[in-house]
Amino acid sequence: MNDLRNALALGREIAARRLTAVKVLEAALARIEARDNEILAWKLINPEQALAEAMARDAEEPKGPLHGVPVGVKDVLDTSDIATGYGSPIYEGALPSADAAAVANLRAAGMVVLGKTVTTEFAMRFPGATRNPNNLAHTPGGSSSGSAAAVADGHVPLAIGTQTSGSVIRPASYCGVIGFKPSWGAVPRAGLKMLAESLDTIGTMANSAADAEAFALALAGRPINPTAPLDQPPRIGICRTVAWPNIEHAGSRGLEEAATCAAAAGAKVVDVQLPEPFATALEAHDVVMTYESRGMLAFECDRHWDRLSPALQDVMKRGMNHDWPAYQSALANRRACRKSLADAFQDVDILLTPSALGEAPKGLSFTGSPDFNRIWTFVGAPSITVPGLMGPNGLPVGTQLIAPLGQDSRVIGAAGWLQNLLQA
């Protein structure tokens, strides 16, 4: 067995006893053995422990559609049986006392934790060692770099990501997989090393919209009943946002290509402008993120300042420069954006916007700009990047879909429809 890309299909085969969780895990470990010395997607793996967990899954009745499926856990979520370092030397080798709530939920759904995937330092800027599977000279994005690369290279069908700015959507776009950021608060965050309480969202990396949603539901502890792709074309609003002046040719071309394909398939495609409060959303997001992250990392700043990277120190200093009134003003801007977001959906079902500026940048020191993701993280709206397009350098270019806050199934259905179209 060498296809580890379809999680729900693997779950069905395991439930029917045509496949075992142990065989699936052995195939995953073999793929990692063959490839991860180049990709470097994994921080820690304990094969013996994972095999014991898979054997236990095979010895019991299936607990759900993803029973026995192996997954990667981003190394900012606590695992009681695997060291959790948060991408920082401060916590290297530290073993948490409990699983994060999302990890406990996936185990309760019968899934197998294969190991911890590489993250940037505290899910911020300073990159980890992971490389883009499509071209090792290019970044996989951040901060969910290991999770995106592990799924893209076929190590596991599913992996957890988190997003404070663009850390699910952008690496998924760069690596060529589905990246799903649910509505803010949809997945419990207890046991996540949070960077910004008002922004952080746990999301999923997968190869299909259905798998991404099923995994998100498992992480939330909810019944797994994936949304089917739309059976008729949606009304699509092309939304370029205030980040558009920085778009690269590959990004603008990808957006146009996706819109053209959708229109040719019968979708109504129109331009949509975001309401006035969104004009300052990028600046407000930065204030909220840096102000809150300085508070969330207060212990590390106080006790271990010299062990923080210069890049993270810079973010902490920016947070220190924002006072309480500036923070409250930024939160007021978010409330105004959330209230007015419904206006953007008056005549459309879904928004279509770039997932990133373009292809993954060359080099490993810069994980790419999150500017096409930050607005949607700021308001908490569900977003998803759909693969299927390629840029001029032969690297993936994702297309991002947005739905209103709380309408996660809407964005999943549209993503399934678009993915079938782009990959036909």
Computed on alpha carbons and rounded to an integer, the radius of gyration of the chain in Å comes to 20
Question: Residue 85 and residue 193: Cα distance in Å, rounded?
Answer: 10
Selecting among 88, 144, 167, 208, the annotated active-site residue is 167
User: What strand order describes the sheet that includes 70-74?
Assistant: 42-45, 112-117, 70-74, 158-163, 201-206, 178-181, 383-390, 396-402, 350-354, 235-238, 268-271
Residue 132: C-alpha distances to residues 72, 141, 174, 360, 396 (Å): 17, 8, 8, 8, 10
Buried b (16+ CB within 10 A) or exposed e, 372-382: bbbbbbbbbbb
Question: Residue 387 and residue 359: Cα distance in Å, rounded?
Answer: 12
Phi, psi for residue 226 in degrees, rounded to 5: -60, 145
- Alpha-carbon 15 to chain mean position: 27
Question: Residue 73 and residue 71: Cα distance in Å, rounded?
Answer: 7
In the structure, how many helices (H) and strands (E) does the chain have? Answer: 14, 11
Residue type, position 227, single letter: T
Residue 418 CB coordination number (10 Å): 28
Answer yes or no: 165 catalytic.
no
| Selection from 92, 41, 7, 300 nearest residue 33 by Cα | 41
Q: Is 213 exposed, middle or buried, given 0-12, 13-18 or 19+ CB atoms closer than 10 A?
A: buried
Question: Residue 139 and residue 60: Cα distance in Å, rounded?
Answer: 41
Answer yes or no: 74 catalytic.
yes
Selecting among 143, 144, 309, 383, the annotated active-site residue is 143
Answer yes or no: 339 catalytic.
no
Which residues are registered as beta bridge partners of 72? 115, 159
Residues involved in catalysis:
74, 143, 167
